[in-house]
A = this chain, B = another copy of it.
Amino acid sequence: MFNREMQKLGEERSVIRELFEYGNERKRLLGEENVFDFSLGNPSVPAPACVGGEIARLLAEVPPERLHGYTSAPGLPEARRAIADHLRAIGGRADPGLVYLTCGASASLTIALHALCNAGDEVIVIAPFFPEYRIFIEGAGAKLVSVKADETFHLDLQAIGRAINGRTKAVIVNSPNNPTGAVYGEEELSALASVLRAAGKVRGEPVYLLADEPYRELTYGSKAPCISALYEHTVVCYSFSKSLSLPGERIGYIAVSPSCAGAEALFAAVAGAGRRLGFVCAPALFQRVVMKCLGRTADLEAYRQNRDLLYGALTQYGYECVPPEGAFYLFVKSPQPDAKAFSERAKKYELLLVPSDSFGIGGYVRISYCVARETIERSLSAFQKLIGEYRG
């Protein structure tokens, strides 16, 4: 009667959201401190002071009817300019006229995919991948093609090359990576660019690179390279959710690289897709806030400390995982082949770990360590008991 596909999407929810809601219920029952909720990438460190300061300044100085009024659909001209300037300052390619502010990373992705794809197109993603990619790609009428990362969760260039065909419209890369914490290096990305360029030559039209970068600033070793400088047909999909700890405010952007083939037509398609999906403009107050906080971040040192504590303890207890180079996730090998069963078993200890199946590979769980340090400290004995069950 209704749209059954939407109903199914609504009923199943994402596995992550499901665990998050379960966790909220358990917290109500047992008290917040007794549930170890590692389900959601909800930043645990406060927004930097510039955010609150800027909101207070705007409220004091800008008349409300202007402050909260509609902006142009792609965003305030001054915000678009500031973002393009920032992207250039960190080494990327950008043009204010090709920046489109969005309601966060998911909106950046759905809009960019609707702009790029025609029915029957294929979009390559690197497994493990953010589960909503499938919904966004299929929603844009395209087909998700999953290519496994290598055993260190970096790009398997040969496999990517083999997966490209005449229907391939784009490749999505997400670095720093959710759920593995991998950060792709400059050499690796340049090699990817060569693969895409070669494929584009064969096809006669370019393969676009969607750089999904909400974790851009969250690195623990070397910085994440600017992908738009390494590959000309790049569309950056960004969100301030993680860098400024503003996930609930829904603010991000799409930056079509000026070197993209058909950059202006693609930007028009971005604007058209935003209109079609019902995004009128990005939230106005936060457009003004983020343009003044570019390059600032929440206190990311807290995540590094969490990473070190958790990685150190879990490997000591016998868990297997690759040390994360960025983002705030630890991707841990499940001690039994069925990660869902392992995640269910972890619930006995009030440990909420996301099984990897919906990320496109089995056998792992994702641990979001963007939580209070005390949560990690209190959870350690639960982790130890859990793995003890496998030692029998």
Contact with B along A100-126 (1 / 0, CB 8 A): 000110111111001111100000000
Q: Given the complex, which residues of B lie within 8 Å of A118, measured CB to CB?
A: 2-4
Contact A273 B104 (CB under 8 A): no
Of listed A8, A110, A248, A286, residue having the most chain B CB within 10 A = A248
Verify if A145 is at the interface (C-beta below 8 Å from B).
Answer: no
* Pair A47/B21 contact, Cβ less than 8 Å: no
Binding stretch for chain B, among A66-74, A178-186, A350-358, A375-383: A66-74
Q: Tell yes or no: A30 within 8 A of B by CB.
A: no
Which of A275-283, A318-326, A359-367 is the interface stretch? A275-283
A159 within 8 A of B: no
Interchain CA distance A107-B277 in the complex, whole Å? 7
Inter-subunit contact B275/A245 (CB<8 Å)? no
Contact across chains for B283 and A250 when beta carbons are under 8 A apart: yes
Q: Is the CB of A262 within 8 A of B1?
A: yes
Q: A3-B114, A59-B55, A280-B104 are in contact. Are A275 and B68 (CB under 8 A)?
A: no
Encode contact with B along A57-71: 1 for CB under 8 Å, 0 otherwise: 001000111011111
* Further 17 A-B residue pairs, CB within 8 A, beyond A43-B65, A283-B283: A3-B116, A3-B272, A6-B115, A6-B269, A6-B272, A7-B115, A7-B265, A7-B272, A10-B273, A14-B275, A20-B72, A46-B63, A55-B55, A68-B246, A106-B280, A107-B279, A277-B277
A residues near B, CB below 8 A? 1-11, 13-14, 17, 20-21, 24, 40, 42-47, 51-52, 55-56, 59, 63-65, 67-73, 103-104, 106-111, 114-118, 132, 135-136, 139-140, 205, 245-250, 261-262, 265-287
22 CB-based A-B contacts, threshold 8 Å:
A1-B262, A3-B140, A6-B276, A7-B265, A9-B273, A9-B276, A10-B273, A20-B72, A47-B68, A56-B59, A65-B245, A103-B250, A103-B283, A104-B280, A107-B278, A109-B278, A110-B277, A135-B275, A248-B283, A250-B250, A250-B282, A277-B277
